[in-house]
Amino acid sequence: LESGMVRFKNTQNILVKNLLVVTVGFPCWYVIGYPLAFGATDRPSMFAGSKFFFMQGLWENKDALRLWLFQGAFCTTAATIISGAIAERTQLKGFLTFTVLMTSVIYPVVVYWGWSGRGVLNFMSDEGESKSLLGAPFIDFAGSGIVHLVGGIGSLCGAIIVGPRKGRF
């Protein structure tokens, strides 16, 4: 889809960027992203997780490995959404820097807030009811709300920063 929206001369660049999102994003998710997103401790912070760095202690648990792979795909998907929004206007090293930041910190922290059950958007009160610091607790029925929220806001910010495609539209 994305390569169909760029000029022919940039098609290979887009394909390489999507490949790099996966090859750079998954190691970042492995080292720091997954722990920040799902590493809630016994006394959790409402901001981010703080255990399972380098997936320490998860290799024996096949369910945890499945969750890591499944959620890693969501993480890299959020980064590729932004890749399309800033297509033809960024250099590769700038895009790689963004990818590392997105898959290591930005996306995982937002995931913790919404999906961990202990973050800012959805946590259990002392009375055992779901709460949020911002009103009603966040419920993501299909599981794609956070992916598209982070991808969309990142796309908007990226498009504002890099400006319009000159000569395209």
Quote the pLDDT of residue 33.
Answer: 93
Residue predicted with more confidence, 156 or 18: 156
CA distance 40 to 155: 28
Quote the pLDDT of residue 84.
Answer: 78
pTM of the shown model = 0.84
pLDDT digits (tens, 9 = 90+) for 28-57: 999 999 999 988 787 877 788 888 788 787
Quote the pLDDT of residue 10.
Answer: 65
Residue predicted with more confidence, 81 or 18: 81
pLDDT band at residue 140 using 50, 70 and 90 as cut-offs: confident
Quote the pLDDT of residue 3.
Answer: 47
Name every residue whose Cβ is closer than 8 Å to that of residue 33 and which is 6 or more positions away in sequence: 72, 75, 103, 104, 105, 107, 108
Quote the pLDDT of residue 2.
Answer: 56
